[in-house]
Structure 1
Amino acid sequence: MSPTILLCFLIGYFLLLIIISFVTSQKSSDNSTFFVANRNSKWYLVAFGMIGTALSGVTFISVPGEVGAPSGNQFQYFQFVLGNAVGFIIIATVLLPLYYRMNLTSIYGYIEKRLGHYSYKTAASIFLLSRTLGSATRLYLVVIVLQRFIFDSYGVPFWLTVLISLALIWSYTFKGGLKTIIITDTLQTFFLVLSVFLTIYFICNSLDFNIPQAFETVKNSSYSKIFFFDDFLINKFYFSKQFIGGIFVTIAMTGLDQDLMQKNLSMGTIQEAKKNMFTFTGVFVILNIFFLSVGALLYIYASKNGIDIPLDHVTGKPRTDLLFPEIALNNLGSVPAIIFMLGLTAATFATTDSALTALTTSFCVDFLGMAKAENVNAENAVKKRHTVHIVFSVLMFLVIIVINALNSSSVVSLIFTIASYTYGPLLGLYSFGLFVKKRGLHDKLVPIVCLLSPFLCYLLASNSAEILGGYVFSVELILINGLITFIGLLFISKKTDAQTRF
């Protein structure tokens, strides 16, 4: 596929998003519009748009690539997805009612009211770190594809490709914020879903399969094993590890994350927010089945046509993340290549634009106090918000450059590894706030507990085989992280007659 054609498509795509941003921010571009879209978003638009935000380019590329990975992943990821679904239901029935009852702009306002000032700042700081790292990692994946299949042809260095990508995202989010994101994410999710189904069609057509034949082939292939119940100690794909990990990763990365919760808080009522979450959950599970099916079809196609897993330019080792773009852009023809690029771009930028908006919101509200009445009408509030937006764009740029220098593994595994260490303390903080009554917390010691917990988790995970009789941790490590934080908070609290802190 010609790099020039792909570049022209990319330019046209972002021009469309910039036009949407211009239209949606015409009437108002104040902080209320940016932070919570004036709390009048339509639940069905949010539900559909959240699909693109939750899936990202990682699901689009890395999940299909992992199906045929040398480690024998197959469809094991669906065990994790089932856990995700349970986590989404818990969010809808437990956390959302709490957030709406407190009328929050930043969800970390709950921690401030329940546990104290230092706990609040710690929770918000954890989110800023976690989301910056996670979103940068997701964007890194698509930048690799853009670099390899477009910008390498023009001699553009990797760092400039990253800078261009972030500048384009900034250009359509800095003014309208969440109000713009809800519209652009809806459009991008449509492109993502369309791309998935069309990709399946094009691969099936190349293999001379009709759709029923394709799914029968996938079902009978060596890639379709979903449930793993052997070797509990050493198998990181064991069902309970993936399922339990999926529940708590979802609660932490969605329910305790300002990014996806910010969209839920933009609706008028809790009933609409719940409808959004339940609808989103059903669509999320179904789409992941299709992504895994795409992965099986890709490996079947690669085997039939003698295509090897592409090598990483840096390490020279096979990289499963690149199999999908290699086949779509170089083997299926021009139309499938454009469809693939459409889906990849939509998936990844729907995640990154949302994250930049949420990071800006959290910093402005949690650290600059812009949600407080005395600061709402400040003349320089919007200018400060713009500055914060730029700073987080620069931070994301720097993180991607570091990841590119250090990482050569599958991006999907890297993201959940990051989440296990960074989101765990949030689980501990919210669990303590929700379930521990009549204990006063030594608020100033909370940051120390939240720093120690990931460190102890790292030591445990690194030595689990020796300490725990060969046990190997997977994504369930986030639960251990949260538990260590919870126990630490109990140690720095004392019994009291009222729910007070000291």
Structure 2
Amino acid sequence: RLVGATARLYLVVNILQVSILDNLGVPFIVTTLIILAMIILYTYEGGVKTIVWTDTLQTSCMLLGLIICTVYMLNHLGLSLGDSLTAMNEKGYTKIFDFDPNQKSFFIKQILAGAFITITMTGIDQEMMQKSLSVTRLKDSQKNMVTLGFILLGVISLFLYMGGLLHLYGAQESVSSAGDQLFPDIALNHMPPFISIIFIIALISALFPSADGAMTALTSSLCIDIFGMREKTHWDDGKKEKFRKNIHLLVALSFLIMVIIFKVINDNSMIGLILKLAGFTYGPLLGLFAFGIFTKYNVKDKLVPFVCIASPLISFFIDKYQETLFGEFKIGLELLIINGLLTFIGLWLIRRK
């Protein structure tokens, strides 16, 4: 959770830094500290209750910014919806299915990887699931999950469509930027000032629902699952609240450290890096969940951490030396499934008779 949330946090902070704040002489570390302080301020007191309504407002701002930028680019390019799709198709931007089994982008690999990434990054993730789990009735919670699925389909389709438009727009305006810098370069340097302002608002709005939810979820998980705060019956409410706030600050510090690490890595496409890292970090979670659901065995608890560390390490070496091991066959994001399977096998080996 920490890796995924801080990677997205770094992405937004870095875009703001490179696009605006470098020119003002503001150091990267100062930008990061200010944004983290803003997140802490409104999650420090209220926890989950605070983020529900603010997340709704921020997500609405993000989607509104997305739609406004899309409409502006269509008008500027003089294209209708159908014409833009035709132009994208001519450039190869609408290609969905790759039928070469050896490639990472082979469509069956992509479908399997996408399904299991969704299971792990959404279905087994406290941050993503806590709002559904807080619904009073099971039927309403199920309705919420199905509705969310359809909404995400629409939102992601809109993002992909705008991605194609950005490349068409960038080609017309002779924009040299690529990867994560393409959108900010176009929005801030090749669009009217009011679009630039909308972009910045939408960018910050995209950041906060991810970071604040993760920070709150990690604080809750550490307090309850790791430090067993609920079992400390001799603590009064004041002491528990003080402990929770201290853990919250500790989580914020870990966010700062991770953002600095990503700054050192400085990858040009953070989405690719986030999904790659998910293959390593979420694999053990997938294996543990599957073992708990599909078997009735107990395991030797003290050996579980070793299994959960060994599986990603083995997966890393499989990924690193896959050309030697498999020749032309390339493993992509489905590495997550392999990682989960290795964890499952490890848990099977340490099961109690």
Q: TM-score range by the shorter chain?
A: over 0.9
Corresponding letter in the other structure for 1:397: L
Compute the displacement of 1:470 (Å).
Answer: 2.4
Residue number in structure 2 paired with 1:213:
83
Kept in 2: contact 1:375–1:381 (CA 8 A): no
Residue 409 and residue 148 in structure 1: after superposition, are their counterparts in 2 closer, same or farther (change >3 A)? closer
**What SS is found at the alignment partner of 1:440?**
coil
Distance 1:253 1:186 in 2: 20
Residue number in structure 1 paired with 2:203:
344
After TM superposition, the structure 1 = structure 2 runs for residues 31-110 of structure 1, keeping only pairs within 5 Å, are none
Distance 1:358 1:388 in 2: 11
Corresponding letter in the other structure for 1:412: I
Distance 1:401 1:189 in 2: 26
1:409 equivalent in alignment to 2:277: no
Distance 1:282 1:276 in 2: 10
Query: Residues 166-219 of structure 1, C-alpha deviation per residue, up to 9 Å, x if partnerless?
Result: 111111111111111110111011111111111111111211223443344334
Residue number in structure 1 paired with 2:305:
447
Query: Residues 340-366 of structure 1, C-alpha deviation per residue, up to 9 Å, x if partnerless?
Result: 112211111110011101111111111
Aligned length: 353
Residue number in structure 2 paired with 1:242:
110
1:204 equivalent in alignment to 2:63: no
Residue number in structure 1 paired with 2:165:
297
After TM superposition, the structure 1 = structure 2 runs for residues 126-275 of structure 1, keeping only pairs within 5 Å, are 131-230=1-100, 232-233=101-102, 235-275=103-143
Compute the displacement of 1:149 (Å).
Answer: 2.3
Query: Residues 400-443 of structure 1, C-alpha deviation per residue, up to 9 Å, x if partnerless?
Result: 11111123231001101111101100111111111112x33112
CA RMSD of aligned residues (A): 1.6
Distance 2:186 2:324 in 1: 42
Distance 2:235 2:201 in 1: 39
Distance 2:265 2:91 in 1: 35
1:473 equivalent in alignment to 2:331: yes
Compute the displacement of 1:386 (Å).
Answer: 0.9
After TM superposition, the structure 1 = structure 2 runs for residues 483-502 of structure 1, keeping only pairs within 5 Å, are 483-495=341-353
Distance 1:218 1:198 in 2: 20
Residue 179 and residue 228 in structure 1: after superposition, are their counterparts in 2 closer, same or farther (change >3 A)? same
Compute the displacement of 1:289 (Å).
Answer: 1.3
**What SS is found at the alignment partner of 1:340?**
helix
Distance 1:241 1:182 in 2: 35
**What SS is found at the alignment partner of 2:298?**
strand
Distance 1:377 1:277 in 2: 36
Kept in 2: contact 1:206–1:332 (CA 8 A): no
Distance 1:409 1:270 in 2: 42
Structure 1 or 2: larger helix share? 2
Kept in 1: contact 2:173–2:190 (CA 8 A): no
Kept in 2: contact 1:420–1:481 (CA 8 A): yes
Compute the displacement of 1:375 (Å).
Answer: 6.6
Distance 1:218 1:268 in 2: 45
Distance 1:217 1:462 in 2: 37
1:435 equivalent in alignment to 2:294: yes
Distance 2:150 2:234 in 1: 40
Among 324, 328, 331, the alignment partner of 2:190 is 331
Distance 2:319 2:190 in 1: 41
**What SS is found at the alignment partner of 1:225?**
coil
Q: What stretches of structure 1 move > 4 A for 4+ residues in a row? A: none
Compute the displacement of 1:396 (Å).
Answer: 0.6
After TM superposition, the structure 1 = structure 2 runs for residues 107-118 of structure 1, keeping only pairs within 5 Å, are none
Distance 1:155 1:287 in 2: 35
Residue number in structure 1 paired with 2:214:
355
Compute the displacement of 1:267 (Å).
Answer: 1.2
Kept in 2: contact 1:369–1:375 (CA 8 A): no
1:390 equivalent in alignment to 2:249: yes
**What SS is found at the alignment partner of 1:374?**
coil
1:279 equivalent in alignment to 2:147: yes
Query: Residues 294-346 of structure 1, C-alpha deviation per residue, up to 9 Å, x if partnerless?
Result: 1111111111121112xxxxxxxxx4100001001111111111121122111
Query: Residues 18-50 of structure 1, C-alpha deviation per residue, up to 9 Å, x if partnerless?
Result: xxxxxxxxxxxxxxxxxxxxxxxxxxxxxxxxx
Corresponding letter in the other structure for 1:492: I
Residue 210 and residue 435 in structure 1: after superposition, are their counterparts in 2 closer, same or farther (change >3 A)? same
Among 426, 443, 462, the alignment partner of 2:285 is 426
Kept in 2: contact 1:457–1:477 (CA 8 A): yes
**What SS is found at the alignment partner of 1:447?**
helix
Kept in 2: contact 1:145–1:322 (CA 8 A): yes
Distance 1:373 1:212 in 2: 62
1:462 equivalent in alignment to 2:330: no
Distance 2:195 2:300 in 1: 58
Corresponding letter in the other structure for 1:343: A
TM-score under structure 1 normalisation?
A: 0.68
**Structure 1: tracts of 5 or more residues without a match:** 1-130, 310-318, 496-502
Corresponding letter in the other structure for 2:310: L
Distance 1:376 1:335 in 2: 53
